[in-house]
Copies of this chain bind each other. A is one copy, B any other.
């Protein structure tokens, strides 16, 4: 992983600009028809040109053979060993909707569910109610006067999407070491909030009392008349990129969660109305002079991979390629194009396969033999195979932002 102590010592001021372009779940597996992966099969003249001018390699997002989630995958890309630093699901959800998590908070992801008359779960997602219904239920709970359980403790409830919401409990001395209440199946009631250690007992009691009262508030609703809470978590207290890498960093992402993870390492969220990749690149251009490091996130490679739709994932990659001239017109000094993990459409899920990486830096990159951007080309690229958490050091080095170590 990035050696924060060493980097702090070596970081030097520079005017160079780094772009980290992440196609979520970019890595794939070859399809039978022509033995090409999504990235290999895609028509990507712009990325291929950059591959020829720069150099390739491949990385393990978490560790060799380990499949990472989105949180660990992105922590790795930002230089944080995902096995050392962990972002709980509750915090991911909270920051993902722009909630400013503090070190006094315990966050949980909530699911509205359907309970029968005996309190047994009959649908864990309450018929996947639309977001508008979720908003109304949350409003009702927030209006019920149950969010100040004791002096100095405050509870914030926010809708997310469909049946999902977030609960944040704020107060001194809270602890997130709690078991989830989702039994992960129907036919049983929600589980109680159980403290895993003595220090978390008060927090467990406060959450349990609140769940009981909030469930009473929505008892007569349909189909969402119950709830489960998952992923209790506090602020992971991650070192900030400005402090460890000396860069002013910005995130441009369509999905809230990625903006959220990036904000936890100190990136500024860029407000934009981008939906397409082209618009995301244009949003980067709007703030180009204000930052040194741009993390640009493309979501739909992963979504289409999870759908099992090879062609659709390929087309998202082609959309990225087609928009590249807009990004390159900004003249970054260092461009890294990669993914946070592989999502082969054949597996319809994240996977452990190493992720190809393209590093382009006209002043400093050692050109290798690569002429296209693809998994096989990257596996024999000049950068070799490494851990995701080393990418940031490589990027800083190629941006000439690191001094020499030792005489």
Q: Which residues of A contact B (CB under 8 A)?
A: 3, 6, 10, 29-30, 35, 37, 58, 62-72, 82-83, 86-87, 89, 92, 231, 344, 347, 349-354, 364, 366-369, 375-376, 379-386, 390, 393-397, 402-407
Contact = CB atoms under 8 A, between A and B. Distances in A.
B72 A406 contact: yes
Contact of A66 (B29, B71, B350, B393): B393
B385 A386 contact: yes
A379 B376 contact: no
Contact of A83 (B6, B62, B89, B395): B6
Given A397-B66, A402-B352, A30 B379 contact: no
- Interface core residue of A68, A375, A382, A396 (most chain B CB under 10 Å): A382
Copy count, this protein chain: 2
The 8 closest A-B pairs by CB, nearest first: A384-B385, A65-B393, A69-B406, A72-B406, A65-B397, A379-B382, A352-B397, A65-B394
7 contacts: A3-B83, A65-B393, A82-B406, A350-B404, A354-B384, A379-B383, A385-B386
- Interface core residue of A347, A351, A369, A406 (most chain B CB under 10 Å): A406
Contacts of A385: 383-386
Contacts of A394: 64-65, 352
Contacts of A386: 64, 385
A375 B379 contact: no
B406 A68 contact: yes
Given A63-B393, A71-B407, A386-B64, A368 B364 contact: no
B384 A379 contact: yes
Given A65-B394, A66-B397, A69-B406, A375 B366 contact: yes
Contact of A402 (B37, B65, B403, B404): B65
A292 B87 CA distance: 34
Nearest to A395: B65
